[in-house]
Structure 1
Amino acid sequence: MIRVMIAEDEVFAREELEFLLMKEKDITIVGSVTNGRELLEQYPKLKPELIFLDIEMPEIQGTEAAKQLMEQLTPPCIIFTTAYEDYAVEAFGVNAVDYLLKPYDEERFQQALARVRKLIANRGSATSKKISNLLIEEGDKIVVVKPEDIYYAVKEDRMVIIYTGSRIIQTKQSLQELEEKLVGYPFVRSHRSYLVNLSYVKEVETWFNGTYNIILRGKEDTKIPVSRAAAKDVLQQLQM
């Protein structure tokens, strides 16, 4: 069951959401609040996986509450609800899964839920496949590495160079193979030749023409390139 909270100060809009959600067999409503302050107070107790969050609310705005929720170790999925289409850009700026306009259209409501179901399923799949140790072929030996110890990996000619906190490993295994084995860990392809551990990101600096450079804690002298194609995905994952 997907645990859902509703944060909505308008009675009619809240009741409409409850009516729509109660028809879904895989959803249970664990709580309902009327302002952002109550949401932040109740979230640690109720631990919802999905929050329907009104943008315009008293005390603490929905977008501000969302920013604080995104700082959680495992942040909830958020679907913003609003009467104003102009808020769409702001909603996605805090990494919302979707946003719904009031009054609710049932087809759009179902589309938003489908996105949440897929996201939650992918999270569960990633967690179940997570490995404890990574076996890397280096020459005529196999090196055992903890995935969380890897800072980044880069493809150079026919080799992949893996940088950890204590050593450098060279392997003929492809970057794609390495990425597949690291499912469940916060690694992302920032560039076709780079795989980086987002846990070590210290800062991101703008470069040129829509590209960026990543600076890692403990590897400040190295700049990891972020291509234009990968920029949106990298920045979104850094917010999660």
Structure 2
Amino acid sequence: MKILIIDDEAKAQSLLKKLIADLSLKVDQLFTANNLLEGIDIIKKEAPKIVFLDIEMPEYSGLEILDHIDLEQYPFKIIFTTAYQQYATEAFKLSAVDYLLKPIDPDELEIAINKALKIIEQNRLSSQIKSLQNALNELKVKKIALEVPHGIIFAEPDEILYFEADGMYTNVILKDQRKRLICKPLKHFVEQLSQNKFFFKPHRSYLINLNYMTEFIKKDGDYILLDNTIHIPISRSRKDDFTALLRETFL
């Protein structure tokens, strides 16, 4: 774990370094900075997990830290250190983990660090859970459930040529030209595949797989040729979106 101390007083830096060293912490590196801007540079280069930040410093106050750095881009936990009680409210508005009054009490220091470490671990676990959820969501869209009258067929998106609305049902045409009548409206598949950029709805009755598009024909009414044989119309209201998608994805 990396720790940074930002304080304009050398004596305060040394004392805090000693107090941290006396604790049973696994500290890989402990950095010091004499002012806020110097500390910001270290944060950007070294990415410390915990920053001890003095408030009363020349030029810039420690309370101005968020004017100079984005906590989302450079996540770290702030523990303010100061000789002045009156800054406590402002400090906690900046989402500080704790607020230590100088001279710093060793027990209060240990409590503050443990609090910061607990939050860091919670954030790490939350991030892992979010990553796992995203991975599961990606797996979910890898196969599509097609509810047919006799059961459910599972198909990869790449196996599907296009969907065609049929009232409250949908015809699904697979790449081997098999046609299945599905007990779901077209809207269901439009929503399910909304994050897949290769599925596009050129017309209110169709959702197509652009991977099988072989030609865009601008005559006799605009239409798309799928798999060299299938003509899919493009409605006037969707033509601009379609040409924009072509430029973004293929051109």
Superposition TM-score, scaled by structure 1 size = 0.54
- Alignment-derived partner of residue 211 in structure 2: none
5+ residue gaps in structure 1? Answer: 143-165, 169-240
- Alignment-derived partner of residue 13 in structure 2: 14
RCO greater where, 1 or 2, for CA within 8 Å and sep 6 or more? 1
Partner amino acid, structure 1, of 2:121 = A
Q: CA RMSD in A?
A: 2.9
Partner amino acid, structure 2, of 1:36 = L
User: Residues 52 and 80 of structure 2 are in contact (CA less than 8 Å); yes or no, is this contact kept in structure 1?
Assistant: yes
Residue correspondence of structure 1 range 81-160 to structure 2 within 5 A: 81-129=81-129, 130-131=131-132, 132-134=135-137
Aligned residue pairs, count: 147
How far apart in 2 are the matches of 1:96 and 1:40? 16
5+ residue gaps in structure 2? Answer: 155-189, 193-251
Q: CA deviation at 1:47?
A: 1.2
In 2 relative to 1, CA 74–46 (structure 1 residues): closer, same or farther, beyond 3 Å?
closer
- Alignment-derived partner of residue 3 in structure 2: 4
Partner amino acid, structure 1, of 2:13 = R
How far apart in 2 are the matches of 1:57 and 1:14? 13
Q: Secondary structure at the match of 2:3?
A: strand
Moved more, 68-77 or 11-20: 68-77
Q: Percent identity?
A: 32
Deviation track 1:166-219 (CA, whole Å, cap 9, x = no partner) reads: 749xxxxxxxxxxxxxxxxxxxxxxxxxxxxxxxxxxxxxxxxxxxxxxxxxxx
Residue correspondence of structure 1 range 157-236 to structure 2 within 5 A: 167=191
User: Residues 37 and 59 of structure 1 are in contact (CA less than 8 Å); yes or no, is this contact kept in structure 2?
Assistant: no
Q: Secondary structure at the match of 1:133?
A: helix
Q: Secondary structure at the match of 2:116?
A: helix
* 1:34 corresponds to 2:34: yes
Partner amino acid, structure 1, of 2:90 = E
Moved more, 45-54 or 26-35: 26-35
- Specify the structure having the higher radius of gyration (Cα): 2
Superposition TM-score, scaled by structure 2 size = 0.51
- Structure with greater proportional strand content: 1
User: Residues 30 and 46 of structure 1 are in contact (CA less than 8 Å); yes or no, is this contact kept in structure 2?
Assistant: no
